[in-house]
Chain A
């Protein structure tokens, strides 16, 4: 009995100490006002809790915060303009390696990142790669809009499979069987920032292909890539027609309408179906499940997920308030309820946050929990920077897979073309 009490005391003491010992960025400027631009939510609970947390912050500190939301695609150019022009939002919560395009314009968040890392079990390696540039933290990873294979359990079973095959060869067979039964798969091949990037990168990496090597030489034009594109060519006919122009919402709509039985997506499809008042949608929610991507010939997971991170600009008039706001929103008291309300839309960047009950309460959500730990950064295998960001922004990987899959070019030509395009950014 006494042991427990003492341990409790100890825990309480540590907690108290950590609050007292909070780094001194908790001295925001008087009369500060913040402007935050973040990505548009896919799940209503996400924005509800973000707004509620922000309001809590304002009540506690008196700092007014204005949160605007725009689509991922529209944030990218705005961030670039803000960095160059020297005026705009104080904080941007955007995607991937965008901060690496203008590191010198960004506030140093190292102190904050170190504090959060040590308090919450450490940052996962990919987060360190995305957040750090030249030894200092320029971005604060929020997590990743994790992607998993979303599938209809009954349709997969009817096609003769108990679960999604764990290897790419089996996966292809599954898609062929689904198509034969009139319950096809469908994955985006348009310029869908989340969905198209995730499966196209996975596909190429799973076969050993990659955009650049460790020295940032463009090596996409390789036999491994061609093998991946051959696979894509075999996979594409099993899709429902029209995926070439699919944007991020397209597969959501198709899945919820029962037009496809398998796709790659975040938790948004499941969340919408589960919360819907319509019986048909709820039935889909009950009949669907998630699993991680299959493993290719390279023998290990090769997933790409849409990393979300916050970054702040040096031109901000209130850098201390910026850091305080970020600290506040990343602390467990705010982050965990927000994670909960998002129903697992964002997979956490810090180890401790995987322990939240939201990840295990509903077993269908669990596959999303650990994706950040093992994901590969988009500039794989090179370093993140302006070139990798530009390659992502131009959808070079996606276009290559789309061209080869639909037969616009042969796999060899598609890979060569991708190399040509990438070299324009990786030159010098």
Chain B
């Protein structure tokens, strides 16, 4: 695991070699530019420029094809009064927080289980990763079918078990729909969290646990004072990714509910698509997308600073 400190040290030791190589001729600078060029070009043209363009579009009244004029913060002001937009912000935060917390808990739990001595470990690990590998949209289609108001297998089973007496309208009632898509998101996200945390668990030296058990530590104390702290850098990275991907989720919602019922599952990403493409209000849609950026920056900074502090604790 490389740390920034480690990088700098290695950089320093390389500098000695580097200066010797440079003396032999060969513009490392020019060569580096050449090597970075393909990636740099792709990212500059199709990532950096669009990012700036997206910010500009959010400040304009553009439509598809027509460039539009600069309108300042008009879009944002009107969004601030827009009930559907505000609802989408709530939905996105709710969806992200709930799904991430549960994904973390279940993912960690699964990682702990997988860390035990088990037969067929490779096979089990392969099975666990499956929801992550299969394209999200295609598994979303399966969930769409599982949640069907008339033919849901979940309802059928629950009725057979006597738990309910009529088919649940998973996707027709606002709160039911919210929980349904959260469940689908959790299902999809657990593998990523579990497998990466498992890798982290496997780097924790068993000697630590041995020493602790000699001191009479319980399983819970092991977990709280050894496992968690050792894992926290990885947890921070994994959860940052997970939170980012959940916050900006589009596919799952679009397939299963398209944002309904009555906008109850509209996330900012799906609302942005609807306003920009379906309603042909490109400027407003871009503004919605731009509105996601502060939240994302907050999440990244939060985990970055959290990560730094933990690194300090390791000394």
Contact = CB atoms under 8 A, between A and B. Distances in A.
A and B touch in the complex (CB under 8 A): yes
Interface of A: 73, 76-77, 80-81, 83-85, 101, 190-191, 242, 244-247, 253, 257, 390, 393-394, 402, 417, 424
Contact of B65 (A76, A83, A253): A83
B261 A80 contact: no
Given A190-B261, A253-B150, A245 B64 contact: no
Nearest to B177: A245
Interface stretch (B23-31, B272-280, B305-313): B272-280
A76 B64 CA distance: 13
20 contacts: A77-B278, A77-B280, A80-B63, A80-B280, A83-B65, A84-B63, A84-B64, A84-B66, A85-B64, A190-B260, A190-B262, A245-B177, A245-B260, A245-B261, A245-B262, A246-B172, A393-B278, A402-B262, A417-B83, A424-B78
A417 B81 CA distance: 11
Nearest to A259: B150
A393 B78 CA distance: 18
Contacts of A244: 261-262
A215 to B, nearest CB: 24
A402 B263 CA distance: 12
A208 to B, nearest CB: 27
B171 interface: yes
Given A190-B262, A393-B279, A242 B64 contact: no
Contacts of A424: 78
B210 interface: no
A417 B66 CA distance: 29
B165 interface: no
Nearest to B259: A191
A257 B150 contact: yes
A245 B66 contact: no
A242 B173 contact: yes
B169 interface: yes
B174 to A, nearest CB: 8
A424 B284 CA distance: 12
A343 B83 CA distance: 42
A424 B77 CA distance: 13
Interface string B243-271: 00000000000000000111000000000
A81 B262 contact: no
A81 B78 contact: no
Contacts of A390: 279-280
A84 B261 contact: no
Nearest to A78: B277
Given A245-B169, A245-B174, A245-B262, 15 more contacts: A77-B280, A80-B63, A80-B280, A84-B64, A190-B262, A244-B261, A244-B262, A245-B171, A245-B173, A247-B260, A390-B280, A393-B278, A393-B280, A394-B279, A417-B83
B172 A245 contact: yes
A80 B64 contact: yes
A190 B263 CA distance: 10
A165 to B, nearest CB: 30
A390 B280 CA distance: 9
B65 A84 contact: yes
A402 B150 CA distance: 24
Contacts of A101: 280
A156 B66 CA distance: 53
Contacts of A245: 169, 171-174, 177, 260-262
Interface in B40-97: 63-66, 78, 83
A405 to B, nearest CB: 12
Contacts of A76: 278
Given A191-B260, A245-B171, A73 B278 contact: yes
A131 B174 CA distance: 39
B171 A77 contact: no
Interface string B172-186: 111001000000000
Interface in B144-195: 150, 169, 171-174, 177
